Amino acid sequence: MRPAERERVALDAIIAAITALGLAAHTHDEAGQAPDAVLVLPGGSTLVIEVKSAASVTADSVPAHVRRWSQSSEGDATSVLVADRITEAARSSLSQAGVNWLDLRGHLRLMAPGLFIDSDVPALAQPSAERQGISGQVGVELSALLLLDPARTVGVRTAAKSLSRAPSSISEAFSALRAAGLVDSENRPSVPGLFWELAEHWKPVSRDVASVPGPGGERDNAALRLGMDDVESTVGWALTDTVAAMAYEAPVSIRAGHPPDFYVPDQSTLRRAVQLLGPATTSSSRAGRVRVAPVSLVCARRIDATGWANEHWPLTNPLFVALDLAQDPGRGREILDGWTPRKPWNRVW
C-alpha cells in the first residue's frame, strides 16, 4: 500500500471509529496539505485531528515512532497514530507517552482538552492481505527462517525449498511481509520489528509432565524420539525457555532443579510424552513442560552445547528461546533487554 493510500485509509478509519461512538466527525482538506479529521464536540467546538499511520507498532518501535511523529506534527492539531496492529506492550508505552492511538483491530484511545476516549470500536470487517503482515502458517515459518540469519538475502525458491512449501505460497507471504514493512525490497527482515511481530504469533501448544526422560529409560527414550545422537543433523527434542537461556549465558538466574521446557517435533510426540512421562496434575508436581514446535526449524536445527556449556540436552536456536521469553512481558523482556547471544547467533530483538 502506497503511503498516500495508507494515510487515506487511516483517515477514514479514525472517522469511522469516532462516529461509532456517537460523535460527529468529518474530513477537512487544506489546499496543498494532507487532509485532517475534524471531531465535533457535544458543545459545538471542534478538534482537528492529524492522522499518523503505521503498519505495525511494537514496544521496541515506539520511541522511534514518537520522535518522528513529534517532529512532523503541525499547529494545534491533536495527533492520532492509526496502525493495523499495536501490541499490548506498545499500547501501554504509547499511552504512558501521551500518544493517542487507534488499533484497527478494534480500540481507540484519544485524549484532548475536555475529551477522554478509551474504548473498543468496530474492527475492520475484512482486513486485507496487506494488513496481515505475518499471514498464516507459511508466514510464521518464513519469518522464522529470515530471522535465523537476518543478513542473508533469501529468495522465493530458496525459502520454498528450505520450508518444503510451494513457491507461490512463499511469494504471497513475502508480499504480505513487504507491504507491512517487515521485510525490505531484497527480502531482508526488519529487525527488531519482525521478531516482535512473530512473537505475537508464537503460541505453542504445551503440556506439563510429571517426569522427564533420563538415563536408564532406553526403551521409553527411543519411543519418545529424543534424537540425542548427531544432534545438529537430526530432528528431536530441543531444550528451550529459561534453562536454555541460562546455557546461552543470558542474564537469568534459576534455582537448581528448575523444570526444563522442551520442544518436540509434532503432536504425536507430545501425546506419547504425556502418556509415558505422566501428566502433571498440579504446578508443584510439574517436572517439566513439553511443547509442540510451531515451525519445523525449531527441532530440525538444534544446537549441541556439550562442548561449551554444562548442558547435555540439545538446545533450540537462541531465536526460538527468545520468542519463548518474549511471551512474558515483564521478566522475559527484562532478560531479552540484557541478552546478546555469542557468535555465530544473532540478536534480532
| Consecutive H or E run containing 44 | none
Where does the chain hold its CATH 3.40.1350 domain(s)? Answer: 3-120
Label residue 45 exposed, middle or buried (CB < 10 Å: 0-12, 13-18, 19+).
exposed
Distance CA 78, CA 282 (A): 51
The lowest-confidence range among 86-90, 183-187, 340-344 is 86-90
pLDDT in tens, 106-139: 999 999 888 999 999 998 744 444 446 898 999 9
Residue 301 CA to its chain's centroid (Å): 21
Q: 3-120 maps to which CATH number?
A: 3.40.1350
Positions of E strands within 161-314: 206-209, 238-240, 261-264, 288-292
3-state secondary structure of 46: strand
Average pLDDT of the segment spanning 187-216: 91
Alpha-carbon distance 173 to 136, whole Å? 8
Q: What is the pLDDT of residues 148-158, one digit of tens each?
A: 999 999 999 99
Nearest of 60, 61, 44 to residue 52 by alpha carbon: 61
The chain-wide mean pLDDT, for the chain, equals 88
| pLDDT tops 70 at residue 72 | no
pLDDT of 1 > 50? The answer is no
Tell me how far apart the alpha carbons of residues 43 and 190 are, in angstroms, rounded to a whole number: 46
Which string of b and e fits 120-138 if b means at least 16 CB within 10 Å?
ebeeeeeeeebbbbbbeeb
- Band (pLDDT 50/70/90 cuts) for residue 180 is confident
- Would you state the pLDDT for residue 128? 46
Pairing of strands 78-86, 100-103: parallel
Residues 316 and 273: their CA atoms lie apart, in Å, by 18
CA–CA distances in Å: residue 155 to residues 36, 142, 189, 343: 40, 11, 12, 24
Task: Name residue, grid cell 498440579.
Answer: 282
